[in-house]
């Protein structure tokens, strides 16, 4: 690990030098204002002292011009030590065994009803929610004198799944507030999603948009959003502290929407959410979206949600739908937390790979990915 101290007239200047010398993978360990020079204690100049570091083994020096936002953003912030890896593997194995046990359980339902049960199990719908849905199907099955066709049962299943989604507001995000804040753990697709939603807002709705990023931990993260800002031709401010943030909002006071990108960090560390609170002024004028990746384990999603409990979350955004074939987590999450989804993303392409998370869209994705086939 190479650590270096920089003294510069401004944070921007310091970052420029760090980027030039250590490359875009450098991380900022600390920054503070210092007062230097002057005469008899007067006329001292305000400077910033920044301590930056780079790990020459895990992060080879990259030049800014060759920067690839996708590649850079894939570097996780979380602890990568062998112990953590091993724990993760054990957790994965435990999940697998649990699923095998569920799958091998005895057939409990009459022929046409077993199929939806197996489907819900494969999709990893929580056992309690699965029972609730199955009870509804059974009730209808009895009401129809046990002579329902597979198509009818499929239609009831879809009805029950839609009813779960219909209990909260899904889709219809419509960006009601001026400040659109995007939070969530590292690597889930916050920045990419922000760019997709911003592009939609500019291109489809012809709105005036600006960006603020508070993700100053990695220089590569700033570059990533700057690249999107350039492509979309929108102004961007980098906020290193609360004052910067306030100044940026003043500069963008005449814009229709200001999209705020935030750092991921390790969401297990409570300091993360505290830092967010210190940096961003959560006003009535702001709506916050929590980004969750459908490739994460459900338990991690729950932990993330709990960690963000102190921040008013308007809706969630589910990402990486293209990288999974199990969608139960969406239904489990919405049902448990009574919190709807605004968008669902399904690929890396900006701005195309995003859908408004209407109940029918969520259901469509869940049904397309599945193994449950209509049989007549
Ligand atoms: N497959 C897939 N990849 C995605 C999606 N959204 C984002 N990504 C990728 O996930 C990686 C991390 O994205 P980024 O926006 O930097 O995440 P952040 O750290 O939360 O800001 C990048 O390689 C993105 O291209 C998605 O919907 N599907
Ligand atoms: Mg990001």
How far, in Å, CA of 37 to CA of 60, rounded? 36
Residues 6+ apart with CB under 8 A from 81: none
How confident is the model at residue 213, as a pLDDT? 94
Among residues 273, 271, 261, which one has the least CA distance to residue 215?
261
Q: Select 67-376's CATH number: 3.90.550.10, 3.30.9.10, 3.40.605.10, 3.40.50.300.
A: 3.40.50.300
Lowest mean pLDDT among 128-132, 225-229, 271-275: 271-275
**81 pLDDT above the threshold of 50:** yes
For ligand 2, the distance from its centroid to the CA atom of residue 214, given in whole angstroms, is 10
**What is the number of the ligand 1 atom nearest to the C-alpha of 354?**
27
Q: What is the pLDDT of residues 299-354, one digit of tens each?
A: 999 999 998 888 889 999 999 999 999 999 999 999 999 999 999 999 999 999 99
Q: How far apart are CA 302 and CA 311, in angstroms?
A: 15
Strand pairing report for 45-54 and 27-36: antiparallel
pLDDT range class, residue 75, cuts 50, 70, 90: very low
Cis peptide before 351 (omega within 30 of 0): yes
Closest CA to 173 of 335, 344, 55: 344
The tokens for 120 are 């819900």
pTM above 0.85, yes or no: no
Mutate to test the pocket of ligand 1, among 74, 76, 189 (most ligand atoms within 8 A of CB): 189
Q: What is the pLDDT of residue 319?
A: 98
CB 313 within 8 A of CB 301: no
pLDDT-derived band at 266 (thresholds 50, 70, 90) equals low
Distance CA 3, CA 29 (A): 9
Whose Cα sits closest to atom 4 in ligand 1? 348
- What average pLDDT does this structure show over 197-206? 94
At residue 40, the pLDDT reads 61
| Residue among 221, 223, 224, 179 at smallest CA distance from 201 | 179
In a 3-state reduction of DSSP, which class is residue 323? helix
Q: Candidates 69, 73, 353, 354: which one to mutate for ligand 1, based on the most atoms within 8 Å of Cβ?
A: 73
Under the banding of pLDDT at 50, 70 and 90, the label for residue 71 is very low
Q: How far apart are the CA of 174 and the centre of ligand 2, in A?
A: 23
CA-73 nearest atom, ligand 1:
16
pLDDT above 50: residue 376: no
Cα–ligand 2 centroid distance for 190 (angstroms): 5
Place of tokens 């570059």: 223
From the centroid of its chain, how far is CA 33? 32
Within the chain, all domains assigned CATH 3.40.50.300 are found at 67-376
Evaluate the CA torsion angle 129, 183, 192, 256 in order and state its sign. Answer: positive
**Banded pLDDT at 260 (limits 50, 70, 90):** very high
* Number of C-beta neighbours around residue 125 at 10 A: 27
Instruction: Mention every residue, 6+ apart, whose C-beta is less than 8 A from residue 42.
Output: none
Look at the domain 2-64 and name its fold. Dodecin subunit-like (3.30.1660)
Give residues (CB < 6 A) around ligand 1.
Answer: 70, 73-74, 184, 186-192, 264, 319-320, 322-323, 345-348, 353
pLDDT tens for 164-178 read: 999 999 997 678 899
Q: What is the pLDDT of residue 82?
A: 61
What was the pLDDT predicted at 95?
Answer: 64
Instruction: Give the pLDDT confidence of 103-136 residue by residue, as tens digits.
Output: 545 457 877 889 999 999 999 999 999 999 999 9
The answer for residues whose C-beta is within 8 angstroms of residue 287's C-beta and 6 or more apart is 175, 176, 177, 179, 180, 181, 314
Stretch(es) of the chain classified as CATH 3.30.1660 = 2-64
Closest CA to 132 of 118, 149, 120, 147: 120
* CA 186 remoteness from chain centre: 8
């Amino acid at each position: 690990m190479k650590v270096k101290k920089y003294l510069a007239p401004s944070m921007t200047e310091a970052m420029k030098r760090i980027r030039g010398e250590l490359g875009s993978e450098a991380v900022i360990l600390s920054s503070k204002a210092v007062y230097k020079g002057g005469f008899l204690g007067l006329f001292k100049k305000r400077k910033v002292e920044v301590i930056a570091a780079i790990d020459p083994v895990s992060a080879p020096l990259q030049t800014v011009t060759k920067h690839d936002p996708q590649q850079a953003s894939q570097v996780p912030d979380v602890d990568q030590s062998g112990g953590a890896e091993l724990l993760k593997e054990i957790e994965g194995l435990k999940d697998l065994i649990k699923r095998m046990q569920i799958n091998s359980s005895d057939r409990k339902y009459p022929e046409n009803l077993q199929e939806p049960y197996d489907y819900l199990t494969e999709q990893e719908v929580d056992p309690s929610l699965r029972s609730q849905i199955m009870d509804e199907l059974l009730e209808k099955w009895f009401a129809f004198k046990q002579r329902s066709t597979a198509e009818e049962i499929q239609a009831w299943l879809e009805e029950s799944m839609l009813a779960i989604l219909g209990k909260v507001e899904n889709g219809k995000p419509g960006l009601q507030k001026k400040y659109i804040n995007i939070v969530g753990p590292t690597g889930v697709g916050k920045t990419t999603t922000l760019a997709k939603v911003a592009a939609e807002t500019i291109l489809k709705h012809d709105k005036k948009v600006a960006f603020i990023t508070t993700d100053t931990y990695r220089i590569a993260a700033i570059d990533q959003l700057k690249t999107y800002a350039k492509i979309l031709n929108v102004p961007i401010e980098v906020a290193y502290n609360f004052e910067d943030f306030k100044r940026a909002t003043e500069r963008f006071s005449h814009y229709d929407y200001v999209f705020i990108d935030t750092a991921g960090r390790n969401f297990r560390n409570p300091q993360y959410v505290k830092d967010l609170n210190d940096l961003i002024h959560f006003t009535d004028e702001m709506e916050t979206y929590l980004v969750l990746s459908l490739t994460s384990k459900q338990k991690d999603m729950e932990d993330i949600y709990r960690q963000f409990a102190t921040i008013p979350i308007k809706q969630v955004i589910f990402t990486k739908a293209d990288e999974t074939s199990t969608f139960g987590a969406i239904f489990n999450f919405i049902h448990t937390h009574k919190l709807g989804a605004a968008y669902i993303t399904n690929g890396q392409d900006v701005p195309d790979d995003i859908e408004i998370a209407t109940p029918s869209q969520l259901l469509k994705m869940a049904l397309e990915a599945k193994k449950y086939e209509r049989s007549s």
